[in-house]
Structure 1
Amino acid sequence: MCGIVGVVSKSPVNQLIYDSLLLLQHRGQDAAGIATANGSNFHMYKANGMVRDVFRTRNMRSLPGNTGIGQVRYPTAGSASSEEEAQPFYVNAPYGIILAHNGNLTNWRQLKEEMFRIDRRHLNTNSDTEVLLNVLAHELQLTSSGLSLDPDTVFNAVGGVHRRVKGSYAIVALIAGYGLLAFRDPFGIRPLCLGKQETAQGTEWIVASESVAIEGVGFEFVRNLLPGEAIYIDLEGNLTSRQCAAKPTLNPCIFEFVYMARPDSVLDGVPVYNARLLMGNYLAEKIKRELPHVEIDVVMPIPDSSRPAAMQVANKLGVEYREGFFKNRYVGRTFIMPGQAVRKKSVRQKLNAMGVEFKGKNVLIVDDSIVRGTTSQEIVQMARDAGATKVIFASAAPPVRFPNVYGIDMPTRSELVAHGRTNEEVARLIGADHLVYQDLEDMKQAVRDINPALLDFEASCFDGNYITGDVTSDYLDTIERARLLPSAQQDRDPAGDGSHDGDGPARSQLHLQLSA
């Protein structure tokens, strides 16, 4: 999971992209980068760390131009601590392209081999984004017949990318001297939104992972890109769009609605906040069916993403809603942190339980999901330590039983607490008196209740159905072996938020003189 943004404006875009990345910071805290185009010049600055830590005034001054892209990274492939794998990525031919990517390619190893054997392209990192950039560059080289570039040529190249690449991808790319290209994979797994702003100088355009990054900088949200669709915006602000996939189907990642996206975003016609409220309604009905004789005194969320669901659960059950856990916002997301020892320690640093809300009560705790179970176990113990008589745990998502290979850094199957266990076994393991999971169909229906056109979703971490058709048990075995290699573990940032020992984050500065 990453956050991307691209802008074609009538004035300098460096501050606009910076502000948009701040609004997308929840999608990745490992690294940040901005690239701008000023005539035939590309300028790029990227580094490991949070947006506010990566960019200083001197860096912003070195990013002139009215067109640009940016990205906040959450690593799913390659090395989390490698500054070279921060995005955007650049290739000099044809034309000069800078690209940023949200998602994960499932056939990137095969493509990397093809790059060397067939396309004669050298890749310098293990990032699937560099693979994707070189595939796009190669297809653009095949479709272009001269020095000039037109929308038809660009869209034909995107069609070639769709034919070769498997997995999830939402893309923003700059083509030197021409403009901005953005496109979404044929299944629409990862989100991508379009916005605009009318000025005295003309129309300005923005593309971003979530609508909150569009509206938050003063632009008007227009729509979500369709699966397989590409849009091309030239330097004068002329926008052209085309469907570039042969058989596109909309299967957005259901985990975006549960956890990943900000609640004030609208994804594929669905306000995320409203979807989470409805998930709470369905979860409350499940609790009534499964625990009809269990007395519940109070409902509490685990802040922040489970609040809407928890409020609706309390409302439907006719039970008081209370905020018993308080969050320290200056500790990194535990979901991202590798290594259970670090994760377990960080839960106590991140959350504090108020005894007055727990003492002598039967407490129903609502969380957005349960992945490894380590955090849930700590939370249950915190509730007991604060004086709870009974602890009932409810998950607004179904049991996570399978890895996610489309851009969310889920652990291996053996690390997933629900993999190979019954709900009762998971309840015992996390220490809860009772455990209730949301039903998968109810979760999907909560989103469909808002947008009935969403017929199905990418929900592989719950049902093991990988919609791209190329993920087998052998494939999962391969990526899990790679993940468990000691060297791979050492490469991952133990703090989980891009922090480093030493003087500060690693930096990368690029200024390129290109011929348009």
Structure 2
Amino acid sequence: MAPDTLDHREGPRDECGVFGVYAPGQDVAKFAYYGMYALQHRGQESAGIASADLGGYIITQRALGLVSQVFTEHDLRALSGDLALGHTRYSTTGGNEWENSQPVHRNDRRELALAHNGNLVNAVELHAELVAKGVHFRATTDSEIMAALLSTGEANSLEDAIADAMPRLRGAFSTVVMDRDRVCAFRDPQGIRPLVLGQLGGDAWVVASETCALDIIGATYVRDVAPGELVVLDERGVTSRQVIEGERQAFCLFEYIYFARPDSRMNGQLLQRSRVRMGEILAREAPAVGADLVVAVPDSGIPAARGFAAASGIPMDDGFVKNRYVQRTFIQPGDQLRQHGLRLKFNPLPEVIEGKSLVVVDDSIVRGNTTRQLVKMLRDAGAREVHFRITAPPIRNPCHYGVDMSSREEMVAHERTVDEIRDHIGCESLAYLSLEGVYEAVRGQRSGHCDACFSGEYPIPGTEDHLGKYALENALPMVKA
């Protein structure tokens, strides 16, 4: 596949979504299905659900594909039970193989299922330690390493096994795990990835990556799971244990900019409003004097474009029509169609943009290939000038905490100035929102966030020694059961 023509996601690719529910006597598989449906934006490679009756065996179904492709009504009836968890995946450790899909189901010393969002930077060391003890693996993910630690742990309860394991894990982990009696959720001490707690009626409880997954099933947001906290949902209701305290918090700044759904709330912020503020601040920092029209790259650029237009006084219109049904293409186009690959997703409107000087607003530029093609498409459609405005600083460093980004050398901002990037993508002007502007928009402080993809300052020591997405495949011979 030619990456320049068919890589439609210019920004960092998605990560994973997790969901867990404890609701005896209710349709937990349906709750998990709809919760995952709401979290589909966080990963489109595979989906899975694990469920159990109280005291019964855990049943797991997972497959490659979107949530709506993986599950039928018949499947959900077979997954009936009192507690369940779900997962949507974009591969950030290990390739896109069925063995690497989640939830991970293990039955060593104890039976459990686990769903994880994040990345462990010490996965290779933990894997080698477990293999030396005779533990077998079927997958090449850090998520199965976590599941194996908990399944083989010597503690008497799942909660104690989690508490024993958490200090040994380095990296990002917003994780949901269940046995036959309870659902547990725990979060790394830096709180890099989101995890929220909700209530569904009187005695049913939910945990999820984002509040939009609570909304879709009618659950009420209660609070965030705290960094370093372990939450247990069982017959007692909700109990909590603060396993690790005192670490520097480092919530991912890019969750606000792109990853999370705009209708989700994170750290008290409605993301739709934060993204509008990013556009307003960008208009202040990098005005486009004399431009005729503000155009968004849909859908992620729309809120910021609205803010830019309002703050600048430049009118906004739809310059592109987006095909929202392009998620995964299994039929590859021939050479003639391949040249127009981006039109599978975006089609410019000449009647709107012809003869105009455009301000085009998007959330990020990583490799620059898609942005360069968008500029060409706009020019071919008659745009007189194209001025790109980006609601994130230049991305110069890979993420090692649960996001699949390009390598540093593949990034268009690597060893390039902004003017050089502008020349590379072929627009009249290019400006990025400053890091200070992002923090102003989200009403947060650097001391509580991770902005390593922009600054190169990783909050966890040893992060840059991480070997990347295929660390386990490359570093160790796989021992499979």
Displacement of 1:357 in angstroms is 1.4
Instruction: Give deviations 1:314-373, integer Å, cap 9, x for gaps.
Output: 111110011111100111289xx9xxx999754221001000111111100000100110
Instruction: Give deviations 1:5-40, integer Å, cap 9, x for gaps.
Output: 000003121111111111111111100000001132
CA distance in 2 between counterparts of 1:13 and 1:168 reads: 27
**Unaligned segments of structure 2, at least 5 residues:** 1-14, 475-481
Q: Secondary structure at the match of 1:6?
A: strand
**Aligned residue in 2 for 1:160:** 164
Query: Relative to structure 2, which stretch is displaced further, 422-431 or 5-14?
Result: 5-14
Are the aligned partners of 1:181 and 1:232 in contact in 2 as well (CA < 8 Å)?
A: yes
1:112 pairs with 104, 127, 149, which one? 127
Q: Does 1:431 align with 2:447?
A: no
Residues 265-280 of structure 1 aligned to structure 2 (within 5 Å) = 265-280=264-279
Are the aligned partners of 1:227 and 1:249 in contact in 2 as well (CA < 8 Å)?
A: no
Q: Secondary structure at the match of 1:479?
A: coil
Letter in 2 for 1:132: M
Letter in 2 for 1:286: E
Instruction: Give deviations 1:25-61, integer Å, cap 9, x for gaps.
Output: 1111100000001132111111000011101122112
**Aligned residue in 2 for 1:259:** 258
Q: Does 1:196 align with 2:199?
A: yes
**Aligned residue in 2 for 1:355:** 350
**Aligned residue in 2 for 1:495:** none
Displacement of 1:134 in angstroms is 1.4
CA distance in 2 between counterparts of 1:333 and 1:447 reads: 32
**Unaligned segments of structure 1, at least 5 residues:** 486-516
1:33 pairs with 48, 55, 71, which one? 48
Paired residues in the alignment total 453
CA distance in 1 between counterparts of 2:411 and 2:38 reads: 30
CA distance in 2 between counterparts of 1:134 and 1:158 reads: 11
CA distance in 2 between counterparts of 1:47 and 1:329 reads: 23
Q: Secondary structure at the match of 1:404?
A: coil
Q: Does 1:479 align with 2:468?
A: yes
**Alpha carbons of 1:482 and 1:172: their partners in 2 closer, same or farther (altered >3 Å)?**
closer
**Alpha carbons of 1:342 and 1:51: their partners in 2 closer, same or farther (altered >3 Å)?**
farther
Letter in 2 for 1:267: M
CA distance in 1 between counterparts of 2:473 and 2:377 reads: 30
CA distance in 2 between counterparts of 1:483 and 1:403 reads: 18
Displacement of 1:226 in angstroms is 0.8
**Alpha carbons of 1:348 and 1:170: their partners in 2 closer, same or farther (altered >3 Å)?**
same
Displacement of 1:142 in angstroms is 2.9
Q: Secondary structure at the match of 1:41?
A: coil
Q: Secondary structure at the match of 2:119?
A: strand
**Aligned residue in 2 for 1:142:** 154
Q: CA RMSD in A?
A: 2.2
**Alpha carbons of 1:342 and 1:5: their partners in 2 closer, same or farther (altered >3 Å)?**
farther
1:47 pairs with 63, 76, 99, which one? 63
Displacement of 1:455 in angstroms is 3.9
1:183 pairs with 180, 183, 186, which one? 186
Displacement of 1:127 in angstroms is 1.0
CA distance in 1 between counterparts of 2:171 and 2:150 reads: 15
**Aligned residue in 1 for 2:245:** 246
TM-score, normalised via structure 1 length: 0.84
Are the aligned partners of 1:226 and 1:250 in contact in 2 as well (CA < 8 Å)?
A: no
Letter in 1 for 2:59: H
Structure 1 residue ranges (4+ consecutive) displaced by more than 6 angstroms after TM superposition:
341-344, 480-485
CA distance in 1 between counterparts of 2:303 and 2:89 reads: 27
Are the aligned partners of 1:9 and 1:237 in contact in 2 as well (CA < 8 Å)?
A: no
Q: Secondary structure at the match of 1:230?
A: strand
